[in-house]
Chain A
Amino acid sequence: MPTATKHTTEEIWKFLSEIPDPEIPVISITELGVLRKVDIESSKVIVTITPTYSGCPAMKTFEDDIKFKLQENNILDFEIKTIHSPAWTTDWITEDAREKLREFGIAPPIKGTADKGILFDSDKKSIPCPLCKSKNTRLKSQFGSTACKALYTCNDCLEPFDYFKCI
Protein backbone atom coordinates (compact mmCIF):
# COMPACT_ATOMS: atom_id res chain seq x y z
CA MET A 1 0.00 0.00 0.00
CA PRO A 2 1.50 3.30 -1.02
CA THR A 3 2.27 5.68 1.80
CA ALA A 4 3.34 9.28 1.86
CA THR A 5 6.33 8.60 4.05
CA LYS A 6 8.51 8.18 0.95
CA HIS A 7 8.29 11.93 0.41
CA THR A 8 9.26 14.73 2.71
CA THR A 9 7.00 17.77 3.02
CA GLU A 10 9.71 19.76 1.17
CA GLU A 11 9.62 17.34 -1.77
CA ILE A 12 5.85 17.50 -1.93
CA TRP A 13 5.95 21.31 -1.71
CA LYS A 14 8.46 21.30 -4.56
CA PHE A 15 6.41 19.26 -7.02
CA LEU A 16 3.19 21.03 -6.10
CA SER A 17 5.03 24.24 -6.97
CA GLU A 18 5.06 23.10 -10.59
CA ILE A 19 1.29 23.59 -10.80
CA PRO A 20 0.51 26.75 -12.78
CA ASP A 21 -2.37 29.12 -12.14
CA PRO A 22 -5.03 27.97 -14.65
CA GLU A 23 -5.76 31.51 -15.83
CA ILE A 24 -2.30 33.04 -15.51
CA PRO A 25 -0.08 30.12 -16.51
CA VAL A 26 3.21 32.01 -16.04
CA ILE A 27 2.97 31.85 -12.25
CA SER A 28 2.58 28.87 -9.95
CA ILE A 29 0.25 28.29 -7.04
CA THR A 30 3.13 28.79 -4.60
CA GLU A 31 4.22 32.06 -6.19
CA LEU A 32 0.62 33.21 -6.06
CA GLY A 33 0.37 32.32 -2.36
CA VAL A 34 -2.59 29.97 -2.79
CA LEU A 35 -0.66 26.94 -1.48
CA ARG A 36 -0.29 27.56 2.25
CA LYS A 37 0.91 24.37 3.90
CA VAL A 38 1.92 20.78 3.36
CA ASP A 39 1.76 18.51 6.40
CA ILE A 40 2.18 14.80 6.89
CA GLU A 41 0.09 13.29 9.66
CA SER A 42 1.05 9.63 10.18
CA SER A 43 0.88 8.55 6.52
CA LYS A 44 -1.63 11.11 5.30
CA VAL A 45 -0.61 14.17 3.31
CA ILE A 46 -2.59 17.30 4.15
CA VAL A 47 -2.41 20.13 1.66
CA THR A 48 -3.83 23.48 2.77
CA ILE A 49 -4.88 26.09 0.24
CA THR A 50 -6.66 29.44 0.44
CA PRO A 51 -8.78 31.18 -2.21
CA THR A 52 -7.67 34.49 -3.72
CA TYR A 53 -11.20 35.88 -4.11
CA SER A 54 -14.11 34.08 -2.40
CA GLY A 55 -15.75 33.23 -5.69
CA CYS A 56 -12.61 32.50 -7.70
CA PRO A 57 -13.65 29.82 -10.21
CA ALA A 58 -10.03 28.64 -10.43
CA MET A 59 -10.21 27.08 -6.95
CA LYS A 60 -11.79 23.88 -8.23
CA THR A 61 -9.06 23.61 -10.85
CA PHE A 62 -6.39 24.17 -8.19
CA GLU A 63 -7.84 21.31 -6.16
CA ASP A 64 -8.05 18.98 -9.16
CA ASP A 65 -4.50 19.84 -10.22
CA ILE A 66 -3.16 19.18 -6.72
CA LYS A 67 -5.03 15.88 -6.65
CA PHE A 68 -3.54 14.77 -9.97
CA LYS A 69 -0.06 15.89 -8.97
CA LEU A 70 -0.19 13.91 -5.73
CA GLN A 71 -1.53 10.82 -7.49
CA GLU A 72 1.13 11.15 -10.17
CA ASN A 73 3.68 10.95 -7.37
CA ASN A 74 2.01 7.88 -5.90
CA ILE A 75 0.47 9.70 -2.98
CA LEU A 76 -3.03 8.34 -2.61
CA ASP A 77 -3.71 9.06 1.03
CA PHE A 78 -4.28 12.80 1.12
CA GLU A 79 -6.69 15.55 2.05
CA ILE A 80 -7.01 19.04 0.56
CA LYS A 81 -8.15 21.62 3.07
CA THR A 82 -9.37 25.12 2.28
CA ILE A 83 -8.83 27.82 4.86
CA HIS A 84 -10.04 31.43 4.87
CA SER A 85 -7.86 32.79 7.62
CA PRO A 86 -5.44 34.47 7.34
CA ALA A 87 -7.21 36.01 4.34
CA TRP A 88 -5.25 35.93 1.10
CA THR A 89 -3.58 39.16 0.14
CA THR A 90 -1.80 40.29 -3.01
CA ASP A 91 1.21 41.01 -0.78
CA TRP A 92 1.87 37.26 -0.79
CA ILE A 93 2.69 37.30 -4.50
CA THR A 94 6.46 36.85 -4.68
CA GLU A 95 8.83 39.34 -6.33
CA ASP A 96 9.74 36.86 -9.08
CA ALA A 97 6.08 36.31 -9.81
CA ARG A 98 5.47 40.06 -10.10
CA GLU A 99 8.13 40.25 -12.78
CA LYS A 100 6.61 37.27 -14.59
CA LEU A 101 3.18 38.92 -14.48
CA ARG A 102 4.63 42.08 -16.00
CA GLU A 103 6.30 40.14 -18.81
CA PHE A 104 3.01 38.32 -19.41
CA GLY A 105 1.28 41.70 -19.89
CA ILE A 106 -0.44 42.01 -16.51
CA ALA A 107 0.55 44.95 -14.31
CA PRO A 108 1.46 43.45 -10.90
CA PRO A 109 -0.23 44.72 -7.73
CA ILE A 110 1.32 47.67 -5.96
CA LYS A 111 2.54 46.45 -2.57
CA GLY A 112 0.82 47.45 0.64
CA THR A 113 -2.79 47.00 -0.57
CA ALA A 114 -3.15 50.74 -0.86
CA ASP A 115 -5.60 51.01 -3.73
CA LYS A 116 -8.72 50.43 -1.70
CA GLY A 117 -10.35 51.26 1.58
CA ILE A 118 -11.54 54.82 1.56
CA LEU A 119 -14.48 55.95 -0.45
CA PHE A 120 -13.68 58.30 -3.34
CA ASP A 121 -9.91 58.34 -2.92
CA SER A 122 -10.19 57.71 -6.66
CA ASP A 123 -6.99 55.75 -7.17
CA LYS A 124 -4.54 58.53 -7.79
CA LYS A 125 -1.44 56.35 -7.88
CA SER A 126 -0.22 55.42 -11.31
CA ILE A 127 -0.04 51.86 -12.57
CA PRO A 128 2.76 51.56 -15.14
CA CYS A 129 1.79 50.04 -18.48
CA PRO A 130 3.34 46.53 -18.66
CA LEU A 131 3.74 46.91 -22.43
CA CYS A 132 5.42 50.30 -22.98
CA LYS A 133 6.28 51.09 -19.33
CA SER A 134 4.56 54.48 -19.50
CA LYS A 135 3.17 55.79 -16.23
CA ASN A 136 0.52 57.75 -18.08
CA THR A 137 -2.35 55.26 -17.70
CA ARG A 138 -5.98 55.40 -16.60
CA LEU A 139 -8.37 53.10 -14.77
CA LYS A 140 -11.24 51.98 -17.00
CA SER A 141 -12.97 49.63 -14.57
CA GLN A 142 -12.22 48.15 -11.14
CA PHE A 143 -13.50 44.86 -12.53
CA GLY A 144 -11.65 43.07 -15.30
CA SER A 145 -11.37 39.75 -17.11
CA THR A 146 -11.18 37.79 -13.84
CA ALA A 147 -12.24 38.51 -10.24
CA CYS A 148 -8.67 39.49 -9.31
CA LYS A 149 -8.05 42.05 -12.05
CA ALA A 150 -8.94 45.64 -12.92
CA LEU A 151 -8.98 47.08 -16.43
CA TYR A 152 -6.60 49.89 -17.41
CA THR A 153 -5.75 51.72 -20.61
CA CYS A 154 -2.36 53.22 -21.45
CA ASN A 155 -2.66 56.85 -22.60
CA ASP A 156 0.62 56.61 -24.55
CA CYS A 157 0.58 53.29 -26.41
CA LEU A 158 -3.26 53.22 -26.21
CA GLU A 159 -3.28 49.52 -25.38
CA PRO A 160 -5.71 48.20 -22.76
CA PHE A 161 -4.14 46.04 -20.05
CA ASP A 162 -5.04 44.07 -16.93
CA TYR A 163 -3.93 45.15 -13.46
CA PHE A 164 -3.76 42.56 -10.69
CA LYS A 165 -5.71 44.58 -8.13
CA CYS A 166 -4.77 44.69 -4.47
CA ILE A 167 -6.75 43.02 -1.74
Chain B
Amino acid sequence: MTKNEALVKYCLRLGDSSLILGQRMAEWCSNGPVLEEDIAMSNIGLDLFGQSRTMLTYAGEIEGKGRTENDFAFKRLEREFFNNLMSERPNGHFGDTVARNLFLSAYTYHLYKKLSSSSDSTIAAFATKSLKEVTYHLRHSAEWVVRLGDGTEESHSKTQQSVDDLWEYTADLFAMNEVDELLIKENVAIDLNEIKPLWDNTINEVLERATLTRPEDIFMQSGSLNGMHSEALGHLLTEMQFLPRAYPNAKW
Protein backbone atom coordinates (compact mmCIF):
# COMPACT_ATOMS: atom_id res chain seq x y z
CA MET B 1 0.00 0.00 0.00
CA THR B 2 1.37 3.41 -0.98
CA LYS B 3 1.08 6.48 1.23
CA ASN B 4 -1.51 7.97 -1.13
CA GLU B 5 -3.66 4.84 -1.07
CA ALA B 6 -3.57 4.90 2.71
CA LEU B 7 -4.39 8.61 2.77
CA VAL B 8 -7.45 8.10 0.54
CA LYS B 9 -8.75 5.41 2.91
CA TYR B 10 -8.06 7.55 5.95
CA CYS B 11 -9.90 10.55 4.47
CA LEU B 12 -12.82 8.31 3.52
CA ARG B 13 -13.03 7.04 7.10
CA LEU B 14 -13.20 10.58 8.46
CA GLY B 15 -15.47 11.84 5.69
CA ASP B 16 -17.81 8.84 5.72
CA SER B 17 -18.26 8.89 9.50
CA SER B 18 -19.33 12.55 9.35
CA LEU B 19 -21.54 11.95 6.32
CA ILE B 20 -23.41 8.99 7.79
CA LEU B 21 -23.96 10.61 11.18
CA GLY B 22 -25.02 13.77 9.32
CA GLN B 23 -27.65 11.73 7.47
CA ARG B 24 -28.89 10.33 10.79
CA MET B 25 -29.19 13.89 12.10
CA ALA B 26 -31.09 14.90 8.97
CA GLU B 27 -33.59 12.10 9.70
CA TRP B 28 -34.58 14.06 12.82
CA CYS B 29 -35.56 17.08 10.73
CA SER B 30 -39.29 17.72 11.38
CA ASN B 31 -39.34 14.78 13.84
CA GLY B 32 -37.69 16.43 16.85
CA PRO B 33 -39.40 16.18 20.25
CA VAL B 34 -39.43 19.99 20.52
CA LEU B 35 -38.69 22.71 18.00
CA GLU B 36 -35.36 23.71 19.59
CA GLU B 37 -34.07 20.14 19.41
CA ASP B 38 -35.31 19.71 15.86
CA ILE B 39 -33.24 22.77 14.92
CA ALA B 40 -30.26 21.58 16.96
CA MET B 41 -30.21 18.19 15.22
CA SER B 42 -30.43 19.80 11.77
CA ASN B 43 -27.64 22.23 12.65
CA ILE B 44 -25.40 19.44 13.88
CA GLY B 45 -26.14 17.56 10.65
CA LEU B 46 -25.20 20.62 8.62
CA ASP B 47 -21.84 20.92 10.40
CA LEU B 48 -21.20 17.23 9.78
CA PHE B 49 -22.03 17.46 6.07
CA GLY B 50 -19.69 20.44 5.76
CA GLN B 51 -16.91 18.51 7.46
CA SER B 52 -17.55 15.48 5.29
CA ARG B 53 -17.35 17.50 2.07
CA THR B 54 -13.82 18.67 2.90
CA MET B 55 -12.59 15.12 3.44
CA LEU B 56 -14.39 13.49 0.50
CA THR B 57 -13.21 16.21 -1.87
CA TYR B 58 -9.66 15.77 -0.62
CA ALA B 59 -9.89 11.97 -0.99
CA GLY B 60 -10.88 12.51 -4.63
CA GLU B 61 -7.94 14.85 -5.24
CA ILE B 62 -5.40 12.42 -3.83
CA GLU B 63 -6.94 9.46 -5.61
CA GLY B 64 -6.62 11.36 -8.89
CA LYS B 65 -9.37 9.51 -10.75
CA GLY B 66 -11.68 12.49 -10.99
CA ARG B 67 -14.12 11.32 -8.31
CA THR B 68 -15.96 14.19 -6.61
CA GLU B 69 -17.53 14.44 -3.17
CA ASN B 70 -20.87 13.58 -4.78
CA ASP B 71 -19.46 10.47 -6.46
CA PHE B 72 -18.20 9.27 -3.10
CA ALA B 73 -21.44 10.02 -1.27
CA PHE B 74 -23.93 8.78 -3.85
CA LYS B 75 -22.22 6.25 -6.09
CA ARG B 76 -20.59 3.84 -3.69
CA LEU B 77 -22.08 0.66 -2.31
CA GLU B 78 -22.31 -0.33 1.32
CA ARG B 79 -19.06 -2.31 1.39
CA GLU B 80 -17.15 0.69 -0.03
CA PHE B 81 -18.03 2.89 2.95
CA PHE B 82 -15.56 3.17 5.82
CA ASN B 83 -17.61 5.06 8.42
CA ASN B 84 -17.38 3.69 11.94
CA LEU B 85 -20.21 1.35 12.95
CA MET B 86 -21.44 3.71 15.68
CA SER B 87 -22.31 6.46 13.18
CA GLU B 88 -24.76 4.22 11.31
CA ARG B 89 -26.70 3.13 14.42
CA PRO B 90 -30.37 4.04 13.93
CA ASN B 91 -31.74 7.10 15.74
CA GLY B 92 -34.11 5.07 17.91
CA HIS B 93 -35.66 7.31 20.54
CA PHE B 94 -34.15 10.63 21.60
CA GLY B 95 -32.09 8.96 24.35
CA ASP B 96 -30.57 6.51 21.86
CA THR B 97 -29.63 9.41 19.61
CA VAL B 98 -27.96 11.55 22.28
CA ALA B 99 -26.10 8.54 23.74
CA ARG B 100 -24.76 7.64 20.28
CA ASN B 101 -23.84 11.26 19.65
CA LEU B 102 -22.05 11.45 22.98
CA PHE B 103 -19.86 8.45 22.13
CA LEU B 104 -19.08 9.92 18.72
CA SER B 105 -18.59 13.57 19.61
CA ALA B 106 -16.31 12.71 22.54
CA TYR B 107 -14.32 10.62 20.06
CA THR B 108 -14.06 13.26 17.33
CA TYR B 109 -13.39 15.98 19.92
CA HIS B 110 -10.24 14.24 21.15
CA LEU B 111 -9.26 12.92 17.71
CA TYR B 112 -9.52 16.31 15.98
CA LYS B 113 -7.62 17.99 18.80
CA LYS B 114 -4.67 15.73 18.04
CA LEU B 115 -5.15 15.78 14.27
CA SER B 116 -4.90 19.59 14.35
CA SER B 117 -1.14 19.08 14.31
CA SER B 118 -1.13 16.44 11.55
CA SER B 119 1.74 16.80 9.07
CA ASP B 120 -0.88 16.82 6.30
CA SER B 121 -1.98 20.45 6.07
CA THR B 122 -5.46 19.68 4.67
CA ILE B 123 -6.20 17.21 7.45
CA ALA B 124 -4.81 19.63 10.04
CA ALA B 125 -7.00 22.48 8.72
CA PHE B 126 -10.04 20.17 8.60
CA ALA B 127 -9.43 19.06 12.19
CA THR B 128 -8.87 22.57 13.54
CA LYS B 129 -12.06 23.82 11.95
CA SER B 130 -14.16 20.78 12.83
CA LEU B 131 -12.99 20.81 16.44
CA LYS B 132 -14.71 24.15 17.01
CA GLU B 133 -17.98 22.63 15.81
CA VAL B 134 -17.81 19.24 17.51
CA THR B 135 -17.15 20.98 20.82
CA TYR B 136 -20.74 22.22 20.62
CA HIS B 137 -21.94 18.78 19.55
CA LEU B 138 -20.21 17.21 22.55
CA ARG B 139 -21.67 19.69 24.96
CA HIS B 140 -25.13 19.21 23.48
CA SER B 141 -25.11 15.41 23.74
CA ALA B 142 -23.38 15.35 27.13
CA GLU B 143 -25.94 17.72 28.66
CA TRP B 144 -28.81 15.66 27.33
CA VAL B 145 -27.35 12.37 28.56
CA VAL B 146 -27.01 13.94 32.03
CA ARG B 147 -30.50 15.41 31.92
CA LEU B 148 -32.06 12.10 30.90
CA GLY B 149 -29.83 9.85 33.00
CA ASP B 150 -30.29 11.94 36.10
CA GLY B 151 -33.92 12.65 35.27
CA THR B 152 -36.96 10.56 36.04
CA GLU B 153 -36.93 6.87 36.77
CA GLU B 154 -38.19 6.18 33.28
CA SER B 155 -35.71 8.46 31.47
CA HIS B 156 -32.90 6.96 33.57
CA SER B 157 -33.71 3.37 32.71
CA LYS B 158 -34.27 4.13 29.04
CA THR B 159 -30.97 5.99 28.72
CA GLN B 160 -29.10 3.24 30.58
CA GLN B 161 -30.56 0.83 28.03
CA SER B 162 -29.35 3.10 25.18
CA VAL B 163 -25.83 3.15 26.61
CA ASP B 164 -25.88 -0.63 27.11
CA ASP B 165 -27.16 -1.27 23.57
CA LEU B 166 -24.58 0.97 21.92
CA TRP B 167 -21.60 -0.14 23.97
CA GLU B 168 -20.62 -3.02 21.70
CA TYR B 169 -19.96 -0.53 18.89
CA THR B 170 -17.42 1.54 20.87
CA ALA B 171 -14.40 -0.71 20.25
CA ASP B 172 -14.72 -0.27 16.48
CA LEU B 173 -13.92 3.44 16.95
CA PHE B 174 -10.42 2.57 18.07
CA ALA B 175 -9.61 -0.21 15.60
CA MET B 176 -6.53 0.31 13.43
CA ASN B 177 -4.91 -1.47 10.49
CA GLU B 178 -2.04 -1.00 8.01
CA VAL B 179 -3.49 2.38 6.93
CA ASP B 180 -2.92 3.75 10.41
CA GLU B 181 0.44 2.08 10.74
CA LEU B 182 1.73 3.72 7.59
CA LEU B 183 0.26 7.16 8.29
CA ILE B 184 1.28 7.30 11.95
CA LYS B 185 4.91 6.89 10.80
CA GLU B 186 4.43 9.91 8.54
CA ASN B 187 2.83 11.91 11.38
CA VAL B 188 -0.34 12.20 9.29
CA ALA B 189 -2.58 10.01 11.45
CA ILE B 190 -2.92 9.65 15.20
CA ASP B 191 -2.37 6.45 17.12
CA LEU B 192 -5.87 5.75 18.43
CA ASN B 193 -4.39 4.16 21.54
CA GLU B 194 -3.61 7.76 22.54
CA ILE B 195 -7.23 8.79 22.06
CA LYS B 196 -8.77 5.92 24.01
CA PRO B 197 -7.82 7.05 27.56
CA LEU B 198 -8.97 10.61 26.79
CA TRP B 199 -12.26 9.31 25.47
CA ASP B 200 -12.62 7.05 28.51
CA ASN B 201 -12.18 10.03 30.85
CA THR B 202 -14.80 12.13 29.09
CA ILE B 203 -17.29 9.26 28.89
CA ASN B 204 -16.72 8.30 32.55
CA GLU B 205 -17.23 11.90 33.65
CA VAL B 206 -20.50 12.23 31.74
CA LEU B 207 -21.87 8.83 32.76
CA GLU B 208 -21.05 9.48 36.39
CA ARG B 209 -22.83 12.83 36.34
CA ALA B 210 -25.74 11.15 34.59
CA THR B 211 -25.87 8.45 37.33
CA LEU B 212 -25.47 5.87 34.59
CA THR B 213 -23.35 2.74 34.77
CA ARG B 214 -20.55 2.19 32.32
CA PRO B 215 -21.13 -1.20 30.68
CA GLU B 216 -18.55 -3.98 30.74
CA ASP B 217 -16.63 -4.74 27.53
CA ILE B 218 -18.12 -8.12 26.76
CA PHE B 219 -18.85 -8.74 23.09
CA MET B 220 -17.54 -6.00 20.80
CA GLN B 221 -18.47 -5.45 17.14
CA SER B 222 -15.82 -4.73 14.53
CA GLY B 223 -15.46 -4.45 10.79
CA SER B 224 -15.75 -0.86 9.58
CA LEU B 225 -12.08 -0.73 8.53
CA ASN B 226 -12.85 -3.39 5.94
CA GLY B 227 -16.20 -1.97 4.93
CA MET B 228 -18.11 -4.57 6.94
CA HIS B 229 -21.24 -2.90 8.29
CA SER B 230 -24.36 -3.64 10.25
CA GLU B 231 -27.69 -4.03 8.45
CA ALA B 232 -28.48 -0.41 9.32
CA LEU B 233 -26.15 1.14 6.74
CA GLY B 234 -27.82 -0.39 3.68
CA HIS B 235 -31.20 1.00 4.71
CA LEU B 236 -29.69 4.42 5.30
CA LEU B 237 -28.00 4.43 1.88
CA THR B 238 -31.15 3.44 0.00
CA GLU B 239 -32.77 6.61 1.25
CA MET B 240 -29.72 8.87 0.98
CA GLN B 241 -28.78 7.71 -2.51
CA PHE B 242 -32.25 7.31 -3.97
CA LEU B 243 -32.47 10.55 -5.89
CA PRO B 244 -29.06 10.53 -7.63
CA ARG B 245 -29.54 6.87 -8.50
CA ALA B 246 -33.06 7.25 -9.80
CA TYR B 247 -32.24 10.44 -11.69
CA PRO B 248 -28.53 10.27 -12.57
CA ASN B 249 -26.83 13.64 -12.99
CA ALA B 250 -29.95 15.50 -11.86
CA LYS B 251 -29.26 19.19 -11.28
CA TRP B 252 -31.11 21.89 -9.38
Given A53-B47, A141-B39, A143-B40, check contact A119 B205 (CB 8 Å). yes
CB pair A85–B43 under 8 Å, yes or no, is: no
**Would A117 and B129 count as touching, CB distance under 8 A?**
no
- Whether B142 pairs with A85 at a CB distance below 8 angstroms is no
Q: Which residues in B have their C-beta under 8 angstroms from that of A151?
A: 36, 39
**Chain A: minimal CB distance from B70 (Å):** 14
Known: A51-B50, A54-B54, A57-B46. Contact between A141 and B139, CB under 8 A? no
What residue in chain A is nearest B142 (Cβ atoms)? Answer: A119
Q: Per-position contact with B for A58-77: 1 when CB-CB < 8 Å, else 0? A: 00000000000000000000
The answer to whether residues A142 and B130 also contact, given A119-B139, A120-B142 and a CB cut-off of 8 A, is no
B50–A53 touching, CB < 8 Å: yes
A54 partner, pick from B133, B140, B209, beta carbons under 8 A:
B133
A53 and B39 contact, CB distance less than 8 A = no
**Is A144 interfacial (CB-CB < 8 Å)?**
yes
Q: Which residues of A contact B205 (CB under 8 A)?
A: 119
Question: Which residues B6-32 have CB closer than 8 A to chain A?
Answer: none
CB distance from B102 to the nearest CB of A (A): 10
Contacts of A145 in B (CB 8 A): 39
In the assembled complex, how far is the CB of residue B55 from the closest CB belonging to chain A, in whole angstroms? 10
CB within 8 A of B39: which of A119, A144, A165? A144
A141 in contact with B40 (CB, 8 Å) = yes
Other-chain contact of B139, A56, A142, A146, A147 (Cβ < 8 Å): A142
Say whether A55 contacts B46, CB under 8 Å. Answer: yes
Which of B119-127, B162-170, B186-194, B237-245 makes up part of the contact surface? B119-127
CB-based contact B46/A147 at 8 Å: yes
The B contact surface, by secondary structure, is helix
- Tell me the bound Cα distance from A145 to B36 in angstroms: 9
- Residues from chain A with a CB closer than 8 A to the CB of B48 are 55
Roughly how many angstroms separate A63 CA and B51 CA in the complex, as a whole number? 18
B136 at the interface (CB under 8 A from A): yes
**Cα(A112)–Cα(B48), bound, Å:** 25
> Chain B, interface size: which category?
35 or more
Residues of A contacting B133 with CB < 8 Å?
53-54, 167
Known: A87-B128, A142-B40. A55 touches B47 (CB 8 A): yes
A24 to B43, CA, bound (A): 17
Interface centre among A51, A56, A117, A119 (most CB of B within 10 A): A119
A28 to B139 alpha-carbon distance, docked (Å): 31
A124 at the interface (CB under 8 A from B): no
What residues of chain A lie closer than 8 Å to B121, measured between beta carbons? 85
Select from chain A the residue with minimum beta-carbon distance to B39.
A143
Contact bitstring B103-134, A, C-beta under 8 A = 1, else 0 = 00000000000000000011011101110110
Task: Assess the B47–A147 pair: CB atoms within 8 A.
Answer: yes
Greatest chain A CB density within 10 A among B49, B121, B136, B143 is at: B136
| Complex CA distance for A117 and B135, rounded to whole angstroms | 6
The answer to the question of B44 belonging to the interface, with a C-beta cut-off of 8 Å to chain A, is yes
Q: Does chain A have a CB within 8 A of B202? A: yes
Q: Contacting B132 at CB < 8 Å: which of A56, A87, A119?
A: A87
Task: Tell me which of B36, B43, B49, B202 contacts A119 (CB under 8 A).
Answer: B202
User: CB of A116 within 8 A of chain B?
Assistant: yes
Judge if A140 is at the interface, Cβ distance under 8 Å. yes
Given A54-B51, A120-B146, A143-B44, 20 further pairs, Cβ under 8 A: A51-B129, A53-B46, A53-B50, A54-B130, A56-B50, A83-B125, A84-B126, A85-B128, A85-B129, A87-B125, A87-B128, A116-B139, A119-B138, A119-B139, A120-B209, A140-B36, A141-B37, A142-B136, A142-B140, A151-B36
Question: Could you show 7 A-B contacts with beta carbons less than 8 Å apart?
Answer: A53-B133, A54-B133, A55-B49, A55-B50, A116-B132, A119-B205, A151-B39
